[in-house]
Structure 1
Amino acid sequence: MIRVLLADDDALVRGGLRALLAAEEGIAVVGEASDGHQAVHAAALHRPDVVVMDIRMPLRDGVSATRELMAADPRPRVLVLTTFDLDDVVDDAIVAGADGFLLKRASPEELVAGIRAVADGETVVSPSVARRLFDAHAARTAPDHERSARLTDREADVLRAMAAGQSNTEIAASLHLSVETVKTHVKHVLTKLEVRDRTQAVVWAYRTGFAYRV
C-alpha cells in the first residue's frame, strides 16, 4: 500500500485528489495539509511514502517544506504539483530534493502513474517542465566530460530518457529493454555520476548540457 499525504492550500484541490486516489487500488491518503508547516508535521505523524506537494502555499511554501522532509528518517518521496511550468521555483524544488514534478493540469492517469513511479524510486518530470529545464540551462551549461565519459552508450541513452521525463517502463519500451535491465542501468548511472538519486542525475544532465547533446 502506498501511503500518500496531500499538501495544498486549496481545499477543493485536496478534495479532488483525495476522491481520485480513493478509487485507486494500492493507494491510501493518510493525511492532508494546507501549508508547508502542516505538511512537515503531518509527514512526521503519518509517515507517508509519498507527499503530493504544492509549491506555492501560505505561511511556508512547498520548497522549504520539501527541504526539511529530505532530512527525515525515513524520508518520504515528494511529488511536486505546480500550476506554473515556467515557474522559477521549480529549480529551487529540484535543489531541495523533490523526486518528481507534474503540472496541476496533468490527467488523473498521469498523476496516479506519477505517484506510483516516485514511490518506486523513479523520477517523474512532465514534458513541459522538462522543456522548462532545457530552456533555463541551455545557455549556461558547464560540461562535465570526466563523469560523462564514465557512461556507456546505453547508460547515456537511459540518462537522456530520464531527463526527458520518461519512467522506467517508458524507457524500456523506447529502448527495447526489460524494466529490470533499465533499473540496472539507472543504478550504474547514479554510481558513475556520484549522485544520490534520479532527480540529481536529471539535474546534472541539464546543468552540464548532457541532456541535449547527442
Structure 2
Amino acid sequence: MHFPPSSAVHPDTLKDTVAAALGDRAKRIDVKLGEVTVIVTAQNYLEACRTLKDTEGCKFEQLIDLCGVDYSEYRAGEWDGPRYAVVTHLLSVSLNQRIRVRVFCPDDDLPVVDSVTPLWNSANWFEREAFDLFGIVFEGHADLRRILTDYGFIGHPFRKDFPVSGHVEMRYDPERQRVIYQPVTIEPREITPRIIREEKYGGFAE
C-alpha cells in the first residue's frame, strides 16, 4: 500500500483529535517536548487502542514499541500511584504522527492489563518481554511465556526490588551431566575507588 507524503501533524492538533476520538475513555492527555501522551485506565485500554487504530484522524496502524515500567522508586520514592504501568508507542504512517499510550495496572500484587496483540501482531514479543522482566500479565495473549530469561528463572529482574546479584545461578554439574540451579554464591562487596584525587597536591595519589 502506498501512502502519499504528508507533513507532521502539530501536537496540539493531534491532542484535540485524540481527545475527540476517545472521549471519556481518555483519563488524561498531555503534550510535552512535542509529544502527545494519553493515559487510559486498564478497563478502557484495549478499546481505546482499537479506537486509535481505526478512527479517521488517528489511524495508528503500527505499534513500534511497548514496555513495562516500575514506578516504586520514581522521584526518590515519593510516587504514591500504582506501581506498574505499560507504555505503548504507536505510529501512523499514513498521517505521519505518533502517540504514546500509558496504562497503569490497578493491582500492584498481580499487575494485569489486556493484550493488544489482537490489534497489532508486533505487540507479541514486546508483551512477553514485559511479562518476563516485570511480571505484568497480558490478558488474552496467546503465548505469554518468558522470552529473555531461562525457563527456571525466579522473579522478574527489572523490578526495582529485584537483587542485583539475583536469586539463583546455574552451572554444569559433571557428576550429574546436566545443568543445575543453586543459590547465588557471589557475596556482595563494596567497591572503593583505587585512585583518589588530592586537590591540594594538584595531582593523584593511590
Q: Which bin holds the TM-score, normalised by the shorter protein?
A: under 0.3
Select the structure that is richer in helix: 1
Higher percent of residues as strand:
2
TM-score after normalising by structure 1: 0.26
